A and B are shown apart, each in its own frame.
Chain A
Amino acid sequence: MAEKEYSPVYKASRIDSESGEEVVDRISELPVHVIHQMLSKLHQKQAARTSVLSKKWYYCWTSRPNLVFDLLQHMPLEKFVEFVDQSIQPHLEQNLRIEEFNLKYHDAGGYASSHIDRWIDLAVKHNVRVLKIDTLNNSGSEKPPYRSLPDVIYGAENLTTLMLSKYKFEITSSTSTSFCFLKDLYLSYVHISQSQLQKVLDECPFIANLSLCDCKGISKLHVFGGLVHLKSLFVASCELDNVIVRVSNLTKLTIIQGRELESVEIQAPSLLDFTFSGDKLPSMDPSSLESARLQFNLYRVLVIHNFGDVDSVWCTKLQHFLRKFDYSKVSLSGVFYLIYFIGNGLSI
């Protein structure tokens, strides 16, 4: 559509045919990068709709640095591929910046894989900073196979945000990862070994947000001192048996684990917000907390005759733990409904 190319001599005012007054189109006078910034705040559908406003807006839409495809999850593959290819084309032709490449597509059969790898490659070559790839099909109960993470990602030195699902990390100790400015790392249904995760954390000192959801390969999560920028840590359903968190500036921590979790040790003096679900009491000083949501699942109590010393010891520990909260500032909510069955002696 070469004929629709944006002409720099844009006529920003016109004479209204009815009133005869001059109508000034102020928004179209804004520099293209400002309109890009506005587009990045719009929902994908609304942003796409601006393409038909005028030639300038068509140009702004096609040259947008934030390539977001999060609405077309159920579009037939062929159409989806055509749309993404078409969207990325101007960036290739005019060597435009790609700030963000964000793709969400229900790709249960993995048919889009080769295309997605190709797009990741292009995005990284265009110095992408925010890369989000989500191809999980949430409705399916069967777990899809992991796919190898394209090597090009390890060399993506401009990355600040990386969000992945359904991938398997294949770095070894000798692989060099270049994304040392990474601030946000969100992994969901990703296979990453303990040493691989450790290597990533060691090499990304600026990480502020770390989220691991339904990840396999790690049994011990140890997050230690070097990550002074880490503000938020979210861990859920990762089959961990051991969590040690010692981070000075962490303010938000969520741990949602099942029975396998053996021990949790937290040293986070700046922690304000804490969510915990599990059956072991975390070892921590909760006095800095402003908000806490606790859920203890005591599977034992379901067997009535097992009610005895073990549980009363646990209850004493819980009471002790709860005393350490600073009730002048904390908003605490907990699900103790299972404890209620056994907790006649428990005054909380």
Chain B
Amino acid sequence: MVKLKSNDDKEFEVEEAAVIQSEMIKNMIEDGCATSVIPLPNIDSKTLIKVIEYLNKHINMGKAAETGEEDDLKEFDEQFVNMGWEELFDVIMAANYLNIHELMELCCQSAADRLKNKSVRAVREMLKITNDLTEEEEQEIINDAPWAFEGPEIDDTVN
């Protein structure tokens, strides 16, 4: 068992087999730096609980493939990323910090799926992006690739 501590001082015990899906922790264990509690100053307990839920479910990917639980895992993944943008960013930041490749892929795919066909205006609003380009700069960028900004499929709604 490996102990992880969130930035709001909550401790969680995780099986080593699950937690080594994090390259960062795997390296710590291999280097003998994981003898006591591993503090994770960038991750709050709410996010850490989500990440641990993912790690526990994805323990031994190979075993799932053998026993035909792949569909089950796919369903879990779909449910897992069914969260708001804020929460998704927290999980992405945690997955990036802990270096969990599969989780990063899953979350980035989910972010990409949500942005599919969205107009520039819609994306800015959904993600609360502050536009710091001037109108001239914006037009110059559009002129470089006008084909990207036209088409009937572009969706201006924000949900």
Contact = CB atoms under 8 A, between A and B. Distances in A.
Contact of A48 (B119, B132, B138, B148): B148
A49 B145 CA distance: 9
Contacts, number: 111
Interface string B105-139: 10011011101111110011001111111000110
Interface string B17-40: 000000000000000000000000
A24 interface: yes
Interface string A284-324: 00000000000000000000000000000000000000000
Contact of A51 (B93, B113, B145): B145
B71 interface: no
Interface of B: 85-86, 89, 92-93, 96, 104-105, 108-109, 111-113, 115-120, 123-124, 127-133, 137-138, 140-142, 144-145, 147-149, 151
A52 B104 contact: no
A52 B112 contact: no
B129 to A, nearest CB: 5
Contacts of B105: 37
Contact of B112 (A11, A26, A42, A53): A42
B85 A26 contact: yes
Contact of A58 (B89, B123, B130, B141): B141
A23 B112 contact: no
A50 B113 CA distance: 14
Contacts of A49: 119-120, 123, 148-149
B148 A45 contact: yes
**Interface residues on chain A, size class:** 35 or more
Interface stretch (A27-35, A106-114, A151-159): A27-35
B40 to A, nearest CB: 17
A327 interface: no
A259 interface: no
A57 B112 CA distance: 14
A338 interface: no
A138 B123 CA distance: 35
Interface string A247-291: 000000000000000000000000000000000000000000000
Nearest to A7: B132
Q: Binding site of B, secondary structure by majority: helix, strand, loop or mixed?
A: helix
A26 B140 contact: no
Residue with the highest number of chain A CB atoms closer than 10 Å, among B93, B130, B131, B133: B130
Given A41-B108, A46-B117, A55 B133 contact: yes
Contacts of B120: 49, 52-53
5 contacts: A13-B130, A46-B118, A49-B148, A51-B141, A86-B144
Interface string A1-39: 101100000111110000000011111111100100110
Contacts of B85: 26-27
Given A27-B89, A53-B120, A53-B124, A38 B108 contact: yes
Nearest to A4: B137
Contact of B86 (A1, A26, A51): A26
A57 B143 CA distance: 16
A40 B111 CA distance: 11
A41 B119 CA distance: 17
Contacts of B89: 26-27, 29-30
